[in-house]
Amino acid sequence: MRISFIVPTYNSHRDLRSYLDTFITSNDTKNVSFFIVETSDDQRLPALVDEYKKWINIELHFVPNRGYASACNYGHLHSIEADIYVFSNPDIVFVSDVVARIRSEFDSESYGSVIQKDEQGRVRTFDLYPQYKSLVTELLRIHRVVNWLRLYHPAIIFPVGAFMIIGKNVLTQTGPFDERFFMYYEEADYFFRLRRNKNTKILRDVYVIHKVSSSTRSDPQFDAFLFQIRSLYQYCIKYGDFSYFDSLIRFYRLRTMFNGSHQKRLDALLVMREV
C-alpha cells in the first residue's frame, strides 16, 4: 500500500525540517512519498529537500499562492499515485509510527484523521460544522467539550484539516477541494460533502502534535482572524446559511461590551456581512 503525503507550505523552512526529522525517526518510510507544494519563493527549500532525498522519496514544486485548497489539489494531481493521501500541515510533529496504523486501518475507500494535540497536550482534532454552531455553542465553548470527550460524528463533527487522511477512491468520487477557500474551512467543506460516507475513522490511539497557529505565526492574530471569517463567509454563501456568521457578530458584540479590544474583530465581521 502506497501512501503519499501532500504538504502545502508557505515560508515553512523551519517547520518542514522538524516535520521530516520527526517523521523519519518515528515511521517506516517504505512505500511512502512526500510532495511539498511551496507557495512562496523561499529558495532555502530546494537544498533542504535535496538533503532528505537520501532517506525518503520527496519532491518539491513551487506554485503560485492560490491558497491551501489549491495547493492540496495540485499535490494530488502531480504527486506519485497512491492508495492513501495524507494532506498535512508542515507544522506537524510526529511522535509515533503513524504510518503503520494508517496502513492497518485505512484503505482507498476510507477517510479520517488521527488525534491531533497542541503543544500543551490538549486535543485539537474536532470541530462542529458551521451549520451546527450558534451563539450558545460559542458561549459554552462546545468545541472544547467535543475535543475533551473526543466526540466524532461525520454528519455533525469534522476533523480539522492539519492532518487529513483520504483514500484514493474517496478523492476520485468526491472531487477536488473547493479552491474558493483560500485558508480555513476548506476541510469543513470537504468533509461536509463526505458526511454521508460512513467509511470514516479516527485513530484514537495515536496522535501527532500540531503546533497551533505556527502556520500563521508570521502574521498578526487579526490577519489570521480575517482569513478565517473570509472563508467562513464563503462557506455561508455556498450553503446558503448565515446563522453562524450572524451568531459570531452577536458573540463579539457581547465580548466588546466587556472588553473593547474586540471591537476591531466585530467591525470586520460587520463590514463583511454588509458586502
Residue 209 C-alpha cell reads as 502534535
How confident is the chain (275 residues) per 10-residue block, as mean pLDDT?
A: 96 93 95 97 94 96 96 96 97 96 96 96 96 95 95 96 97 97 96 96 95 55 90 96 95 93 94 83
Q: How far apart are CA 40 and CA 81, in angstroms?
A: 25
Element (H, E) at 49: helix 45-52
Residue with cell 512562496: 40
Query: In Å, how far are 138, 218, 240, 270 from 265, measured between CA atoms?
Result: 15, 19, 23, 9
Per-residue confidence (pLDDT) for residue 220, from 0 to 100: 64
Element (H, E) at 5: strand 3-9
CATH of region 3-129+142-213, choose from 3.40.1350.10, 3.30.70.2860, 3.90.550.10, 3.40.50.300: 3.90.550.10
Per-residue confidence (pLDDT) for residue 211, from 0 to 100: 87
Per-residue confidence (pLDDT) for residue 222, from 0 to 100: 85
Per-residue confidence (pLDDT) for residue 216, from 0 to 100: 47
Name the residue ranges covered by the structural domains of the chain: 3-129+142-213, 221-274
* 73: phi then psi, degrees, rounded to nearest 5: -65, -40
Per-residue confidence (pLDDT) for residue 274, from 0 to 100: 85
Per-residue confidence (pLDDT) for residue 214, from 0 to 100: 47
